[in-house]
Structure 1
Amino acid sequence: MRRILLRRFAQIIPLILGVIVLNFALIQMSPGSFLDVMTAEQQVSDPAMIERMRVLYGMDKPVVVQLLKYIWSVMTLDFGYSYRQNETVLAVIGQALPATVILMLASIAIALLIGVLAGVIAAVKVNTIWDNLISVGAVFFFAAPTFWLGIMLMIVFSVRLGWLPVGGMRDIGVDHGVFGDALDVMRHLALPALSLGLFYAAMYTRVMRASMLEVFRHDFVRTARAKGLSGAQVVLRHVFRNALLPVVTLLGLQLGTVLGGSVVIETVFSWPGIGSLMLDSVMSRNYPVVLGVLVLSSLIVAVANALVDIAYFRLDPRIRAR
């Protein structure tokens, strides 16, 4: 187990290098630069001033030299400087990261809770009305765009009923105290987390249902039933644990996509996280921040895959025996 985990973590280094080189090349090929946006916003037209700014930000160097300098900077945990916020990239990402982490954890918790529970019910009640209703709901939420679902939830629960706030992360200029502020964040979190979580819950439902139906056909399940175990004991002690393996794999693969999907949801609900920061950085050609977010996303995916391997060792003893 230790050898496999060390190999997984060693694979993170070439992965990060590949992400840096690929995204750096794509950014270099994209039209425009942050100097164009900066000079347009600040109405700078002096060629000498523009050239000094080009030298200041290292854009006068060849592309290969810029790439090598950036790789070395990342190795020393220096992701550059954001001209738009007048702060280092790490500081800018650090300010937006907690909001995105809260949204990710909440949406993943909703997706796992609803998806796994619905998948178990659909598999146990296969070919019944419960199975049909769950399957239809899973197809609907999988096909519905997350931004449309978020807008519909906003119209129902915020505009029509007035139960939840329309957007933002907390009430501006209001101090509710520590406990009150936590409840305020949870109220603002409910709709974006539900919008993002229902999409992934639909996938977990289908995967969990199919996995449990496959495990039900195995010989050890028939043996457990022949021993006189109740239906609940068979499902919880023998079927459920083995059926979780594909769900764990899917969870590890989708941690990165949750971060990408939060761009849309954070824009719809004005959630001040990495997604909103990424959108603003792309629009303003703030490429150091864009590269920093992409490196962070790839690092999250790599670490998540290593954690999936650890979960596999815990869930399936046969893997430890190999």
Structure 2
Amino acid sequence: MIRFITRRLAQALPTVLLIFALSFFLLKLAPGDMAAVMAGESGGGSAEYVQNLREQYGLERPMILQLFSYLKNVATLNLGYSYRQNMPVFDLIMSRLGPTALLMLTSFAVSILAGVALGIAAARNVNRPVDRVISVISTLGYATPLFWVGLMLILLFSITFRQLPTSGMENVAAFNEGFARVKDIAWHLVLPVVSLSLFYTAVYTRLMRASLLEQSKMNYVVTAEAKGLAPRKVMYGHVLRNALLPILTMAGVQIGSMLGGSIIIESVFGWPGMGLLAYEALFARDLNLLMGILIVSSVMVILINIAVDVLYAVVDPRIQLN
């Protein structure tokens, strides 16, 4: 397993470099630059002032030289300096990584567990009212935009019923500690997690239902039933483990889109994570910060996909990690 993980990490390195290079050039080709933004925020400036800023931040150098210089710094975990936030990019990202990881991992777990449970319920009651209700709910969840769900949840549970907080990660003014702080963060986490996981729960529900129905027709199920095994043991001891493999595949593919969806959710709920930070950096033309967030996000997606590959072997021992 260690050899497999090491090889996957080595294979992922060119992918990260390619993503980084393409994004670097795309951001450079966008209209405007950091010097113009800084001059505008300071109330305007002469052409000489803008030119001095461009020289100070190395914007006059050819893009390929800027790319190589930045890659050399990244190799030493030097992601540059954020002029907007007035602190090193690496420190800034690390301070926001925890909230984003908490939001993503919680949403990931909720969507997987809820999707599997609903998919099992639908498959065991196929073409019955339970199956139809779950199918309608999953279709609505699949078709509803994330930002609209977030706004409607705020309107309903925060403004109308006043039961859940509208934004933020915790009530800073309360100075909570210990379990009280954990409870406060969990209370603030409810609406963002529901908003982010709704779409993916719908996807996993439909996929789990289809996978269970397909596996239930396989020869090994007929053999297990012919041996006299109880239906519940056949379902949870044999069919479910094989049906989970497509769920793991989809989860690994969609972790990147979930990270992108967290940008929307963090912006709607004011969640202090990397998504909100990327949103602010984009409008500030903070290229160093954007590239740093991109690198960390790419590494997160790759590591989670490797973890999914390892889970394949855990769920199905027949799969060998070569």
TM-score, scaled relative to structure 2: 0.96
Question: 2:310·2:321 contact (CA, 8 Å) conserved in 1?
Answer: no
Number of the residue aligned with 1:94: 94
Q: Distance in 2 between matches of 1:294 and 1:214?
A: 39
Q: Distance in 2 between matches of 1:250 and 1:289?
A: 30
Q: Distance in 2 between matches of 1:300 and 1:176?
A: 30
Matches within 5 A, 1:189-204: 189-204=189-204
Q: Kindly state the Cα deviation for residue 50 of structure 1 after the two structures are TM-superposed.
A: 2.7
**Residue 249, structure 1, aligned to residue 249, structure 2:** yes
Q: Distance in 2 between matches of 1:197 and 1:207?
A: 15
Matches within 5 A, 1:109-188: 109-188=109-188
Runs of 4+ in 1 over 6 A off after TM superposition: none
Number of the residue aligned with 2:209: 209
Question: 1:44·1:50 contact (CA, 8 Å) conserved in 2?
Answer: no
Q: Distance in 1 between matches of 2:29 and 2:67?
A: 13
Q: Say how many residue pairs are matched.
A: 322
Q: Kindly state the Cα deviation for residue 42 of structure 1 after the two structures are TM-superposed.
A: 1.1
Please state whether the residue corresponding to 1:314 is helix, strand or coil: helix
Q: Distance in 1 between matches of 2:177 and 2:318?
A: 51
Percent identity for Structure 1 against Structure 2: 42
**Residue 306, structure 1, aligned to residue 279, structure 2:** no
Q: Distance in 2 between matches of 1:30 and 1:280?
A: 16
Q: Distance in 1 between matches of 2:321 and 2:311?
A: 15
**What's the CA shift string for 1:108-129, capped at 9, x where partnerless?**
1210121010011111111111
Q: Kindly state the Cα deviation for residue 307 of structure 1 after the two structures are TM-superposed.
A: 1.3
Number of the residue aligned with 2:265: 265
Please state whether the residue corresponding to 1:206 is helix, strand or coil: helix
Question: 1:142·1:199 contact (CA, 8 Å) conserved in 2?
Answer: yes
Q: What code does the residue aligned with 1:71 have?
A: L
Question: 1:20·1:295 contact (CA, 8 Å) conserved in 2?
Answer: yes
Number of the residue aligned with 2:33: 33
Q: What code does the residue aligned with 1:166 have?
A: T
Of 59-68 and 310-319, the range deviating more from structure 2? 310-319
Q: Distance in 1 between matches of 2:131 and 2:218?
A: 21
Q: Kindly state the Cα deviation for residue 260 of structure 1 after the two structures are TM-superposed.
A: 0.7
**What's the CA shift string for 1:77-103, capped at 9, x where partnerless?**
111110001111111111111111111
Number of the residue aligned with 2:13: 13
**What's the CA shift string for 1:227-277, capped at 9, x where partnerless?**
111111111100111100011111111222111101111111111111110
Q: Distance in 2 between matches of 1:184 and 1:190?
A: 10
Q: Kindly state the Cα deviation for residue 2 of structure 1 after the two structures are TM-superposed.
A: 4.9
Q: Kindly state the Cα deviation for residue 54 of structure 1 after the two structures are TM-superposed.
A: 1.6
Q: What code does the residue aligned with 1:303 have?
A: L
Of 4-13 and 203-212, the range deviating more from structure 2? 4-13
Q: Which runs of 5+ in 2 are unaligned?
A: none
Q: Distance in 2 between matches of 1:143 and 1:136?
A: 11
Q: Kindly state the Cα deviation for residue 321 of structure 1 after the two structures are TM-superposed.
A: 8.9
Q: What code does the residue aligned with 1:136 have?
A: V
Number of the residue aligned with 1:276: 276
Q: Kindly state the Cα deviation for residue 225 of structure 1 after the two structures are TM-superposed.
A: 1.0
Q: Distance in 2 between matches of 1:82 and 1:141?
A: 38
Question: 1:253·1:301 contact (CA, 8 Å) conserved in 2?
Answer: no
Question: 1:5·1:309 contact (CA, 8 Å) conserved in 2?
Answer: no
Superposed CA RMSD: 1.4
Q: Kindly state the Cα deviation for residue 31 of structure 1 after the two structures are TM-superposed.
A: 0.3
Of 139-148 and 292-301, the range deviating more from structure 2? 292-301
Please state whether the residue corresponding to 1:257 is helix, strand or coil: helix
Question: 2:36·2:50 contact (CA, 8 Å) conserved in 1?
Answer: no
Q: Distance in 2 between matches of 1:321 and 1:19?
A: 26
Of 294-303 and 282-291, the range deviating more from structure 2? 294-303
Q: Distance in 1 between matches of 2:48 and 2:181?
A: 50
Q: Kindly state the Cα deviation for residue 320 of structure 1 after the two structures are TM-superposed.
A: 2.0
**What's the CA shift string for 1:139-197, capped at 9, x where partnerless?**
00010001111111111111111110111111132112221111111111100111101
Q: Distance in 1 between matches of 2:310 and 2:225?
A: 30
Of 205-214 and 305-314, the range deviating more from structure 2? 305-314
Question: 1:112·1:204 contact (CA, 8 Å) conserved in 2?
Answer: yes
Q: Kindly state the Cα deviation for residue 44 of structure 1 after the two structures are TM-superposed.
A: 4.5
Alpha carbons of structure 1 residues 171 and 301: separation in structure 2 relative to 1, 3 Å: same
Q: What code does the residue aligned with 1:119 have?
A: G
Question: 2:241·2:315 contact (CA, 8 Å) conserved in 1?
Answer: yes
Q: What code does the residue aligned with 1:261 have?
A: G
Q: Which runs of 5+ in 1 are unaligned?
A: none
Alpha carbons of structure 1 residues 41 and 321: separation in structure 2 relative to 1, 3 Å: closer
Of 281-290 and 70-79, the range deviating more from structure 2? 70-79
Q: What code does the residue aligned with 1:169 have?
A: M
Number of the residue aligned with 2:236: 236
Q: Distance in 2 between matches of 1:14 and 1:100?
A: 25
